[in-house]
Amino acid sequence: MNLPVEFVRWIKILYKDIKSKIQVNGQLTEEILITRSVRQGCPLSMNLYALAIETLASSIRRNKNIKGINIPNLKDPIKLFQHADDCTTITTDIKDYYLFMNEFEKFGKASGAKINKNKTEILNICNAPEEDACLKLLTKESVKTLGIWFGKSSQSQKLATHYS
């Protein structure tokens, strides 16, 4: 990612030998050494996460086998949208699902991050047949992305009616 050496040095200084206490039943535990990750609520955590997750996004964008969707007047196809810790992938080819999952797995091995499979959903807008049971279980009539419903839900229909 080519971050400036000085920036990386400062991050290492800020996170070297950090300790925390945990409140359990109103009582604080002894200090524990934080050896991984950043503390919840740390002001830098969001920015550091954004830097880390960008490596995943870059890898997906560079993967020529993932088709994504073409938008008029844009040079490159759109393959994903990201906001905070949400990632929405978009494609016209169900085979891309496996390519996306491969990219997520590679990122997970390098970073320790895991995809929340309970929140993984597929919106099949072109009614393509699901080739395996896993895809069939993930396929939904509608999905909510960034607070907006897409698909065949009544919320989607209200939105479409309101803006048409």
- What residues pair up with 144 in beta bridges, in sequence order? 149
pLDDT for the residue 146:
76
> Within 13 A of 133's CA, how many CA atoms are on the CB side?
0
Distance between CA atoms of residues 100 and 14, nearest Å = 34
pLDDT digits (tens, 9 = 90+) for 26-42: 999 999 998 877 777 88
The model's pTM = 0.72
pLDDT digits (tens, 9 = 90+) for 48-57: 888 889 999 9
Residue 150 and residue 142 in contact, taking contact as beta carbons nearer than 8 Å: yes
61: exposed, middle or buried (C-beta count within 10 Å: 0-12, 13-18, 19+)?
A: middle
Distance between CA atoms of residues 65 and 107, nearest Å = 17
